[in-house]
Amino acid sequence: MTEETRKLEKSQEKKLTISKWLSLLVIAEYIMISILILTQESHFLPLFIGVFALLFTAGTIFFYFKDMFSGVLKPTAEEEAEYERMIEQNKIEQEKQRK
C-alpha cells in the first residue's frame, strides 16, 4: 500500500465517521423541528429554520467556490496535454477519412 493510498483511506474513514455524526445531527434537527411545529412555537421555529438554512447555504457556497476554482474547473497540466493529444488524434482520423 503506497503512502498516498494510506492517506486516502485515512481521510475516507474520517469522512465516514463525520457523516455518521452528521446523520445523528439530521435526526436531532428534524425531531426538534417536529416538536416546534406540533407545539406551534411561532418565534423559535422560524429562527431555528433560518439559522440552520443560512449556515448551511453560506458554508456550501464558500467551500464550493474554494473547491470549484482551485480544483475541479482548473485542468491539470496532464489533462491539458491529454486533451491536446486527443485533438491531434481527431485531426489525423478526419484527414484519413477525407482521403
71 DSSP 8-state letter:
I
What is the distance, to the nearest Å, from the Cα of residue 92 to the centroid of all Cα atoms in its chain?
Answer: 38
Beta-carbon contacts of 49 under 8 Å, excluding residues fewer than 6 positions away, are: 33
H-helix segments, the chain = 3-38, 44-67, 77-98
Question: Does 88 contact other proteins by CB under 8 A?
Answer: no
Using CB under 8 A, which residues numbered 50 to 79 contact other proteins? 50, 52-53, 56-57, 59-64, 66-68, 71-73, 75, 79
Which spans of this chain sit near other proteins (rule: CB under 8 A)? Answer: 8-9, 11-16, 18-20, 22-23, 25-27, 29-30, 33-34, 37-38, 40, 42-43, 45-46, 49-50, 52-53, 56-57, 59-64, 66-68, 71-73, 75, 79, 82-83, 86, 90, 93
